Amino acid sequence: MLDLSLCARAQYVNIDRIRLSIDNGPYDAVIALAPENVPYFGGFYNMDLRLLPERMHIVVWPKGGDPTFIAVQRRAENMPGSGGTFVKDMRGYKGEGLDSMRVLEEVLRDRGLTEGRLGFEGRWFPGAHLVDIKRRLPKADFVDAYAFLESIRVIKSEAEIAVLTRAANITCDAIDSAFKAARPGNSEREISARIQYEMLRNGIEMVTAPLLASGDRSGYWHGMALDRPVELGKVLKVDIGGTIDGYYSDIARTAVMGKATPWQRDVHAKLTEVKHRIVDAIKPGVTAGEVAKIGEQTYDRLGLEFKWFILGHNIGLGLHEEPSLYPWVTESFKPGMTLMIEVGYNDDYPKESFHVEDLILVEPGGARYLTDATRHERIWELGV
Amino acid sequence: MLDLSLCARAQYVNIDRIRLSIDNGPYDAVIALAPENVPYFGGFYNMDLRLLPERMHIVVWPKGGDPTFIAVQRRAENMPGSGGTFVKDMRGYKGEGLDSMRVLEEVLRDRGLTEGRLGFEGRWFPGAHLVDIKRRLPKADFVDAYAFLESIRVIKSEAEIAVLTRAANITCDAIDSAFKAARPGNSEREISARIQYEMLRNGIEMVTAPLLASGDRSGYWHGMALDRPVELGKVLKVDIGGTIDGYYSDIARTAVMGKATPWQRDVHAKLTEVKHRIVDAIKPGVTAGEVAKIGEQTYDRLGLEFKWFILGHNIGLGLHEEPSLYPWVTESFKPGMTLMIEVGYNDDYPKESFHVEDLILVEPGGARYLTDATRHERIWELGV
């Protein structure tokens, strides 16, 4: 069976939710190896899931049964020394090549699933490995189950909401702390390093997306800090996140070095207004597309051209989970979803770009902020 | 044709090496989408290659021809605002699903490659996408070309050696700086945060592997820093790396908080000796397996049981490139290879574990260190 006492991250594990979903789902078994699914379906997390994906960790969970965990031999033999898992049936493979598929075949044969309908992660399962396991099990039917697995993860437990809130607020506080210390003449790199230092010393285990750029480069898509001073009067745009126990934060803030111009103040104020109207509009049963349209209409109503693309996305063990806030999305919000709401303007080099992003929780009556958004109602003026 | 002036990382680009290899290689075209291959074969690098692999960037390079770059529409339209590429034929796709494969089919049809032998990255190309492109081009022959593409990258240019040296030495210096500042009572997290801060403010664009653990947890495989003090008399093991322009550093150091015991000093001294003997043994033409055996024999000769697994690996845009130093590896060293040589002991929870790792360059006459290994000949005693 399962043993939660062996799993260092037991507090996040939702065995009942997983069982119910898989037992009532359309697959005879699901095969999870994506770095966002292994911690959820296997209880195991280590940063090497993303750093070295060639050392695959695979959870096989059959309908009505208990899971098996497949890992490289060294990890399989020393699970307690890597954080542990609640899965008791542990199998090891050799090397970093296709031997993992020999073991996967063995597991599926043991479970009588050689002719089953097997859910795999279409966007993660490596092509060569898929070809190999199909050759080994020619009668099995392999079907993309990524969206199915994600849909199980997308409603968060209390422990998950708590860790996401903590990660987001450590990130917010780190940005504010570095903003308070920022002075004219500081380089992008100095400010970025200070934000990351504050994140790390306050509990973020790893910074995963250190984006920071100023002035004309603020419109550079996913620009990283350079050794150049933030110019007086120019915007400084930060979009940064990290993880705690594998759960992501993803916070964006925009400030100005020195005094802001009326135009900069105005754009930021309008974006803040759009963000609040989006959060107001989110309720269980409303679709992400409807809310995205309300967001775009609010830009329009405020006289700010919509020069942006995404207005938000779910977040958890995945950085971008569904639903995303695009006008065409028909998925509706549900209580327990945690989303980043992000508004921006002009994300297009070499124009000055603005970006603000906060974490919210969907509750039965509507959505509420989990980050303190009040400190950035007006654009920050650094070093003033 | 190609235009290097549009590419922010032109100094690393080896067009002649790529053309020669592909034109003389066994594929009618190669299709590269792995985060370590897109910068090399497409000249484009952004941290989102690893952060958001679902937004695929694909370089198609036909034998005897010029490459095409396929990216999500927004990036395809604004390449200069994302770092640029030397590839002039740019195609966009919509969304994050299989529309990329529609565009890939189009490119391959345009090039007359519908019945070609097409090299794809077996361990990276997503399974669902491979199924889709095979369905679209049923007469094409898809063959795993990961090792082929890696073999082109594995010999470094002068600019690549320079950036790898810089990244490695910034990392070494950051560790030393944090070690010098470390005092009894400091937590693992404080020391880890200081190392990362020093790395970031001195030029590392992103920390990718912040591993640090002390005492019994030093044997935890890929353990990360916790909020607990490093105990007096216990080892502190660091294995940390980051990137500059996508090129990795990967440095390991072991110290003791306070005075080291004779056993700790002895193990560290023996490991240092093993490392030097490995570096002495590396020469063009010698196989990685032969050198790994010399490493294991040196443990034996010094009376230190071989309780470790890997003795080194190539490094570049990939963190672990081939060859790796395992006894069974038959690939031989070549001038221009850059490798991490890593020695260790007892990587097994809950035993105290040791790890030392340095960067070397293979030259015609042998190997030499690119990191300053002299500062860690003896184990560091922190706060003494």
Q: Kindly write down the DSSP assignment for every residue of B163-213, as one continuous string.
A: HHHHHHHHHHHHHHHHHHH--TT-BHHHHHHHHHHHHHHTT-SEEEEEEEE
Contact A346, A330 (CB under 8 A): no
**What dihedral angle (degrees, nearest 10) is formed by the CA atoms of A201, A205, A209, A214?**
0
Q: Are residues A205 and A62 in the same domain?
A: no
Contact B354, B305 (CB under 8 A): no
Query: What does the block give as tokens for A259?
Result: 């005094």
Q: Are residues B186 and B102 in the same domain?
A: no
- Strand boundaries in A23-79, DSSP class E: 29-32, 58-62, 68-72
Q: Which residue of B has its CA nearest to A143?
A: B128
Which residues constitute the domain of residue A41?
4-153
Query: What does the block give as tokens for A342?
Result: 């992000």
Contact A225, A191 (CB under 8 A): yes
Helix/strand/coil for B140: coil
Q: Are residues A217 and A249 in the same domain?
A: yes
Half-sphere exposure at residue A70, Cβ-oriented, CA atoms within 13 angstroms: 24
- A52 to B224: CB separation less than 8 angstroms, yes or no: no
Residue type at B183 in one-letter notation:
R
Helices assigned H by DSSP within A25-77: 38-42, 48-51, 73-77
Structure confidence by residue, pLDDT tens digits, A289-325: 999 999 999 999 999 999 998 999 999 999 999 999 9
Q: Which residues of chain B does A209 touch, with a Cβ-Cβ cutoff of 8 Å?
A: 47, 51
- pLDDT band of residue A59 (cuts 50, 70, 90) is very high
**Looking at the partner chain, which of B78, B82, B348 has a beta carbon nearest the beta carbon of A78?**
B348
Q: Which of A19, A83, A23, A87 is nearest to A48 (CA)?
A: A83
> Is the peptide bond between B39 and the residue preceding it cis, with omega within 30 degrees of 0?
no
> Strand pairing partners for B339?
B314, B360
**Beta-carbon contacts below 8 Å between A and B:** 160
pLDDT at position B346 is 87
Q: Which residues of chain B does A192 touch, with a Cβ-Cβ cutoff of 8 Å?
A: 200
Q: Which residue of A has its CA nearest to B188?
A: A201
- Say how far apart CA A217 and CA A228 lie, in whole Å: 11
- pLDDT band of residue A350 (cuts 50, 70, 90) is confident
Q: Which of A163, A150, A196, A356 is nearest to B193 (CA)?
A: A196
DSSP secondary structure letter of residue B261:
P
pLDDT at position A96 is 86
- Say how far apart CA A344 and CA A310 lie, in whole Å: 9
Residue type at A282 in one-letter notation:
I
Which CATH number covers residue A325?
Answer: 3.90.230.10
The residue assigned the tokens 């994506």 is A34
Contact A202, A166 (CB under 8 A): no
Last residue in a domain, options A121, A153, A185: A153
- Say how far apart CA B10 and CA A246 lie, in whole Å: 35
Last residue in a domain, options B120, B153, B186: B153
Which burial class, exposed, middle or buried, applies to A67 when counting CB atoms under 10 A from its CB (0-12, 13-18, 19+)? buried
Q: For residue A354, what is the enclosing H or E element?
A: strand A354-363
- pLDDT band of residue A1 (cuts 50, 70, 90) is confident
- B211 to A82: CB separation less than 8 angstroms, yes or no: no
Q: Are residues A99 and A200 in the same domain?
A: no
Structure confidence by residue, pLDDT tens digits, A208-218: 999 999 998 99
Q: Are residues B222 and B73 in the same domain?
A: no
Residue type at B216 in one-letter notation:
D
The residue assigned the tokens 């906060």 is A358
**Looking at the partner chain, which of B130, B221, B348 has a beta carbon nearest the beta carbon of A130?**
B130
Contact A163, A244 (CB under 8 A): yes
- B222 to A82: CB separation less than 8 angstroms, yes or no: yes
Which candidate in B208, B221, B319, B320 is best for mutational testing of the A interface (most A CBs within 10 A)? B221
Structure confidence by residue, pLDDT tens digits, B329-346: 999 999 999 999 999 998
Our count of domains for chain A comes to 2
Q: Are residues B93 and B178 in the same domain?
A: no
Q: Are residues A224 and A371 in the same domain?
A: yes
Q: List Cβ neighbours of A163 (8 Å cut-off, separation of 6 or more).
A: A12, A244, A245, A247
Which CATH number covers residue B83?
Answer: 3.40.350.10
Q: What is this model's ipTM?
A: 0.96
Helices assigned H by DSSP within A261-314: 262-281, 288-302
Helix/strand/coil for B66: coil
pLDDT at position A188 is 98
- Say how far apart CA B317 and CA B50 lie, in whole Å: 12
Q: Report, in angstroms and rounded to the nearest whole number, the Rg of chain B calculated over CA atoms.
A: 23
- Say how far apart CA A71 and CA B222 lie, in whole Å: 15
pLDDT at position B221 is 86
Query: What does the block give as tokens for B118?
Result: 């097409």
pLDDT at position B220 is 86
Q: Are residues B199 and B123 in the same domain?
A: no
| pLDDT(A349) > 90 | no
Last residue in a domain, options B124, B153, B182: B153
Q: Express as a percent the part of chain A with pLDDT over 70.
A: 100
Which candidate in A199, A222, A227 is best for mutational testing of the B interface (most B CBs within 10 A)? A222
Angle at A309 between CA A308 and CA A311, to 5 degrees: 95
Q: Are residues A214 and A360 in the same domain?
A: yes
Q: Which residue of A has its CA nearest to B130?
A: A127
Q: Are residues A198 and A118 in the same domain?
A: no
Q: Are residues A199 and A321 in the same domain?
A: yes
> Strand pairing partners for A339?
A314, A360
Q: Are residues B223 and B339 in the same domain?
A: yes
Shortest alpha-carbon distance between residue A364 and chain B (Å): 30
- Say how far apart CA A90 and CA A100 lie, in whole Å: 13
Q: Which of B13, B43, B8, B18 is nearest to B158 (CA)?
A: B13
Query: What does the block give as tokens for A302?
Result: 């405020």
pLDDT at position B119 is 98
pTM over 0.95: yes
Q: What tens-digit pLDDT sequence spans chain B (384 residues)?
A: 788 888 889 999 999 999 999 999 999 999 999 999 999 999 999 999 999 999 999 999 999 999 999 999 989 988 877 778 999 999 999 988 899 999 999 999 999 999 999 999 999 999 999 999 999 999 999 999 999 999 999 999 999 999 999 999 999 999 999 999 999 999 999 999 999 999 999 999 999 999 999 998 998 888 999 999 999 999 999 999 999 999 999 999 999 999 999 999 999 999 999 999 999 999 999 999 999 999 999 999 999 999 998 999 999 999 999 999 999 999 999 999 999 999 999 877 778 999 999 999 999 999 999 999 899 999 999 999
> Strand pairing partners for B261?
none
